[in-house]
Structure 1
Amino acid sequence: MDARERLIVGLDVPTIGEAERLVSTLGDDILFYKIGYQLVFAGGLEFARDLAASGKKIFLDMKLLDIDNTVASGVENIAKMGMSMLTLHAYPKAMKAAVEAAKGSGLCLLGVTVLTSMDAEDLAEAGYQYDPQALVARRAAQARAAGMGGIVCSAEESAAVSEIVGPDMAIVTPGIRPTGAEKGDQKRVMTPKDALKAGSTHLVVARPIVKAPEPREAARAILNEMVAALWPANR
């Protein structure tokens, strides 16, 4: 697999104009983009359709969670948009409903385990009895049982998750920070090289590229680090 198939750039910008300029700047170096709440509520759904129609892969990061029928209805419509990946919170009933709705579409459904901005103290405050690692493992097993296409987790948990889900499910990890980059509001982070070696299959990178003085050079540096990790014999 081309490293460009594994790097997902988060279009975490406030306007469609800024997103368009970033996509233009990154050019053919980037094939895969994540669109989340910020851009969705600024007209991002139509933009996502347009990007997909142009040949880009789109990870729609909606983190769906609702009653089964509502989740299924949403997934059916998202599948028709030409999206490549879609997130939902890894609750068993929601995942089962989504899998049934996505059958035959090619849409890869990703179960969000524990947000990378949360640590053990945050989970305890929210009422969970598990630490992040235990909750990630539990939800990964439930996602596999439900027939999901992949998992979203911290790169710190990707090795343990890969043991649970096996080689056929995607392990998508946000919170990726090149060496020396600021963590921001992320609490469980890892470098691109270390994340891939730990078992991540796809890396989501936003601020280190989007906020870089030269976004294309920043993206190329990350791609080069990924190539060195994936195919060291070719370096």
Structure 2
Amino acid sequence: MLESDASQPAPKWSNLRVLSEFARSHLPSLLLGLVLALCGSAATLATPMVTKWVLDTLDTGASLKGPILTLVVLLIVGAVLGCAQWIVLGTAAEKVVFDARSSLVKRFLAATVPSLQSRSVGELVTRVTSDTLLLREAASSAAVNILNAAALTIGTIVLMGVLDLPLLGVTMVAIVFASILFAVLMPRISAAEARTQESLGQLGGVLEGGLRAIRTVKVSLAEDRVGALVTNNASD
């Protein structure tokens, strides 16, 4: 059976459960991506310390070969780790999308005829082709990015405390401000994204119906009316 009306938002915990189901089968890749991300963050956090080492060496007049070589190696390692993380998580994300689409197709084909006919073909196609793309980031790299960002934030606070206490104060103010902004904006962005996907499904349904009955539309001189319906859904 198809699920109930998509216009009714699913509970947050239900959404998390769905995400975890798709991500669970790709857990090794996600863990590898997390390790690469943390290693890349460690290289990023070490860069200011090495830069300080270069500046201190300039003051003493000692050889800059060691500090500069270390800085170059850190930059190269950070770039390689970032590229590897992008490849690993990108591959996992595409597999998540494939799994989601395969699951939806099987669910549609196993559904009863009345439940399928309760929705337009265009909307069902949109659910498979467009809505599944939202899982690409949510089920693959979102958790990795959250954990990596948390580790990077903690490391930055510790690093600022070691390098400069006034700089630590500025960093803490920036973190608090960003956290408040995040807490205020994210629920609204989430709700807007849900409305966008719902409108996109309706757009696909109206457009598919209009194109399927294009002869009738033209005979009835209803081009403007159908076009207005599609435009209204696109503008929501």
TM-score (norm: length of structure 1)? 0.23
When Rg is computed on C-alpha atoms for both structures, the one with the higher figure is 2
**Could you say which structure has the greater relative contact order, defined with CA pairs below 8 angstroms and 6 or more residues apart?**
2
Which of the pair is proportionally richer in strand? 1
TM-score (norm: length of structure 2)? 0.23
